[in-house]
Every structure is written in structure tokens, then in C-alpha cells.
């Protein structure tokens, strides 16, 4: 089994009937680079940049961030890197940023909301990301988007920083892609409109599940409710994928669900283009995908989103996977 997984790293994630999906890694700290580089990941679908701001007394400046991003870009040797701007607040506090205490941090001043209100912090990070894009394929992704105006404001901020870099003669990729996380129910509802404003979507099932089910992702008492396999969440995922494809943009997933073997046939069936997961899950992901057929996954996906409970979905998927044997 271990040898099989070892060999699987080098394979593509393709179903028996020839439907291929992209396999990407999530990265949460720069130390993970060597492991990711050898994991069989075709790209990094999510670089969580909060690590840059944590465990210190001040925010990193542009040069420091630029050096780190550039090192990762170079280490990937041409494979794309999706850098998510800081998702500070909520479950990711940064003590030295003097932020007001919030009654509901997960419903609070976090992610893109915070970045848009802190222009110096945001533009410093955007400048560092843009400059790193001169060394290899880089994409920018914004977390916690709820509205069109936030999306447009974020893009304007990118344009502003681009103009500043041009004037300073600092190179960057003029074609750099900009995407958003879909992890708030409002963004799912608005997905058809949002899709015409960005180059890609990435579904964040950790937060999306939390907000759809109104169940704190860190509360152990709510674990049963915090299940992305609940049809309420699956339907949201299905509609997001549909909206993206309607607008001809790519849609991935970087929440924990993407690396769950039980989720693979459902998400392949729903047409998800990219799966981004912890590097250690990639080999298994490829092995499972290569045993599937896209046409039966589509039937499964259509069936499970109509079921009544997450329990019923889990049971259906488990029997589906058992029949592959």
C-alpha cells in the first residue's frame, strides 16, 4: 500500500473514463516547501499567509514578505502558487494588531474586510505578492468575500499597487490572475455575478460549513452539525461550481473536504476542477480518483444532493466506494 502510494505521487488525477482534475497542495508555513515540492502536487492552491504575521511583535515589511514568496515561487519550479492575502481575525488572531474584542469573531472584522480597512498592511502584502509574480506563476486570492463591492475594492487596490510598482520600475506579471474564496453563503448566492469579476473561485468548506450550518467550526459540541457532507452544504457547493462554469472560470476547493477520500466521487461528479489539500493526502487522492468513473460520479452527485441528511450521504458514498473494490 505504501509503495503504491509512493508511485502514485507521479501520476495524474484522472478517472478511468478520462476526466482529469488538478491536484494542488495547501501550504500553511514556509517550512512545508520541500515536502510539497515532492508530494506530486501540480500547484499550490492555497498559501495561507497568516504564519507571516504570527509569533512576532510587528507585521513583516514588503521586503521580508517578498523574499519568502519568491523563495516559494522558485522552489515550485514553474508550478503555480496561489497566495491568499492575510485572513486575520476570526479563528486566526494576531495579538499585536490592536483589534477590538469581538463578541462573535467568526462573524467579525476578519479576512478581506479587515484588509480593506487597513490599507498600509494590505498594500504592503499586495506589493510583495506582485513582485514575486515576476519569478513564476503567482495568483492572488482573497478570503472571506461576502459582496461584489468588496471584490471590486480589492481589485482596485491591486491596480493601485500595480501602478505604484510600474512607476518604481519593479517588474510583476501583468496577466496575474485574481480569485476569491467562496466561503460565505452570500458569496454562493452572488456566485453568478462574482464569477464575471474574477479569474477563479476556491471553495473554503471549513468556513462555508460553519456559516451555512451556523455551527462554530471549533466547537466540539457541534461536530455532528459541522459536516460539509450535509446536503445543505453540498447544494451550495454544486451551485458554486455551476456558476463558475457558466462564466467559464475555474473552480477549486481548498477546505478540508477536498482531501477527504469520501468527498472525491461527489466533487468529481459535481465537476470541481481543482482539489487543494494537505500534501500528505495527495497520493491517496490520486489513487482513489483513478479508480472512479466520471459518469457514475455524476450520478452519485446528483443523488446525494437530494438526500435528507449528512448520515445518508456518508452511507451512500461509502457503499459507492465499497463497490469499486
User: Rounded to an integer, what distance in angstroms lies between the CA atom of residue 185 and that of residue 165?
Assistant: 35
Establish if 183 lies at the interface with ligand PEP (CB under 6 A). Answer: yes
**Residue 265, C-alpha cell as written in the block:** 466521487
Rounded to the nearest 5 percent, the helix, strand and coil shares of the chain are 50, 15, 35
Q: How far is the CB of 18 from Mg ion (least distance, A)?
A: 33
Per CB under 5 A, the segment of 71-79, 96-104, 117-125, 181-189 that binds Mg ion is 181-189
308 in Cβ contact with 31 (< 8 Å): no
For the beta carbon of residue 273, count every other beta carbon within 10 angstroms.
18
307 in Cβ contact with 313 (< 8 Å): yes
Total of residues contacting ligand PEP (CB under 6 A): 10
State the chain's maximal CA–CA distance in angstroms: 61
For the beta carbon of residue 266, count every other beta carbon within 10 angstroms.
26
State which of residues 32, 42, 43, 87 lies at the interface with ligand PEP (CB under 6 A).
87
Q: How far is the CB of 150 from ligand PEP (least distance, A)?
A: 16
Establish if 227 lies at the interface with ligand PEP (CB under 6 A). Answer: no
106 binds, among ligand PEP, Mg ion, none (CB under 5 to 8 A by kind): none
State which of residues 42, 50, 135, 207 lies at the interface with Mg ion (CB under 5 A).
207
255 binds, among ligand PEP, Mg ion, none (CB under 5 to 8 A by kind): ligand PEP
For the beta carbon of residue 216, count every other beta carbon within 10 angstroms.
16
Establish if 177 lies at the interface with ligand PEP (CB under 6 A). Answer: no
254 binds, among Mg ion, ligand PEP, none (CB under 5 to 8 A by kind): ligand PEP
State which of residues 40, 136, 179, 204 lies at the interface with Mg ion (CB under 5 A).
204
Residue 112 or 272 having the CB closest to Mg ion: 112
Establish if 43 lies at the interface with ligand PEP (CB under 6 A). Answer: no
Q: How far is the CB of 218 from Mg ion (least distance, A)?
A: 12
Provide Rg for the chain, Cα atoms.
Answer: 19
State which of residues 45, 136, 179, 255 lies at the interface with ligand PEP (CB under 6 A).
255
Residue 161 or 188 having the CB closest to Mg ion: 188
Is 104 exposed, middle or buried, given 0-12, 13-18 or 19+ CB atoms closer than 10 A?
exposed
User: Rounded to an integer, what distance in angstroms lies between the CA atom of residue 44 and that of residue 47?
Assistant: 7
Q: How far is the CB of 264 from ligand PEP (least distance, A)?
A: 17
Per CB under 6 A, the segment of 188-196, 205-213, 296-304, 307-315 that binds ligand PEP is 205-213
Establish if 45 lies at the interface with Mg ion (CB under 5 A). Answer: no
Q: How far is the CB of 48 from ligand PEP (least distance, A)?
A: 5
**Residue 273, C-alpha cell as written in the block:** 476542477
Residue 32 or 207 having the CB closest to Mg ion: 207
198 in Cβ contact with 243 (< 8 Å): no
Total of residues contacting Mg ion (CB under 5 A): 3
Establish if 42 lies at the interface with Mg ion (CB under 5 A). Answer: no
Angle CA 289–293–299, to nearest 5: 115
205 binds, among ligand PEP, Mg ion, none (CB under 5 to 8 A by kind): ligand PEP
User: Rounded to an integer, what distance in angstroms lies between the CA atom of residue 265 and that of residue 252?
Assistant: 15
Residue 46 or 194 having the CB closest to ligand PEP: 46
Chain-centre distance for alpha carbon 261:
17
* DSSP of 56-105: SSS---HHHHHHHHHHHHHHTTT--EEEEPP--BTTB--TTS-----S-G
Number of H helices, E strands in the chain: 14, 9
**Residue 258, C-alpha cell as written in the block:** 477536498
Q: Which residues bind ligand PEP (CB under 6 A)?
A: 46, 48, 87, 183, 204-207, 254-255
Amino acid at each position: 500500500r505504501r509503495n503504491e502510494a509512493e508511485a502514485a505521487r507521479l501520476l495524474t488525477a484522472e478517472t478511468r473514463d478520462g476526466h482529469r482534475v488538478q491536484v494542488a497542495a495547501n501550504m500553511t508555513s514556509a517550512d512545508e516547501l520541500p515536502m510539497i515540492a515532492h508530494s506530486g502536487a501540480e500547484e499550490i492552491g492555497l498559501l495561507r499567509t497568516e504564519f507571516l504575521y504570527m509569533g512576532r511583535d510587528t507585521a513583516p515589511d514588503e521586503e521580508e514578505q517578498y523574499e519568502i514568496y519568491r523563495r516559494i515561487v522558485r522552489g515550485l519550479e514553474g508550478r503555480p502558487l496561489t497566495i491568499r492575502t492575510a485572513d486575520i481575525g476570526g479563528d486566526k488572531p494576531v495579538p499585536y494588531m490592536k483589534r477590538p474584542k469581538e463578541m462573535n469573531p467568526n462573524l467579525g472584522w476578519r479576512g478581506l474586510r479587515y484588509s480593506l480597512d487597513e490599507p498600509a498592511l494590505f498594500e504592503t502584502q499586495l506589493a510583495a505578492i506582485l513582485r514575486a509574480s515576476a519569478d513564476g506563476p503567482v495568483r492572488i486570492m482573497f478570503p472571506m468575500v461576502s459582496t461584489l463591492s468588496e471584490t471590486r475594492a480589492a481589485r482596485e487596490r491591486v491596480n493601485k499597487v500595480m501602478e505604484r510598482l510600474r512607476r518604481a520600475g519593479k517588474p510583476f506579471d501583468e496577466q496575474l490572475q485574481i480569485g476569491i474564496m467562496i466561503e460565505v453563503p452570500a458569496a454562493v448566492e452572488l456566485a453568478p455575478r462574482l464569477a464575471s469579476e474574477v479569474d477563479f473561485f476556491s471553495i473554503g468548506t471549513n468556513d462555508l460549513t460553519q456559516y451555512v450550518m451556523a455551527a462554530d467550526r471549533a466547537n466540539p459540541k457541534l461536530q455532528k452539525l459541522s459536516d460539509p457532507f450535509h446536503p445543505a452544504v453540498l447544494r451550495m457547493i454544486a451551485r458554486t461550481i455551476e456558476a463558475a462554469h457558466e462564466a467559464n472560470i475555474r473552480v477549486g476547493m481548498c477546505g478540508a473536504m477536498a482531501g477527504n477520500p469520501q468527498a472525491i466521487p461527489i466533487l468529481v461528479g459535481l465537476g470541481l476542477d481543482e482539489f487543494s489539500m494537505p500534501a500528505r493526502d495527495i497520493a491517496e487522492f490520486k489513487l482513489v480518483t483513478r479508480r472512479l468513473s466520471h459518469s457514475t460520479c455524476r450520478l452519485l452527485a446528483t443523488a446525494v444532493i437530494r438526500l435528507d441528511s449528512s448520515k445518508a450521504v456518508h452511507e451512500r458514498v461509502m457503499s459507492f466506494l465499497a463497490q469499486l473494490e
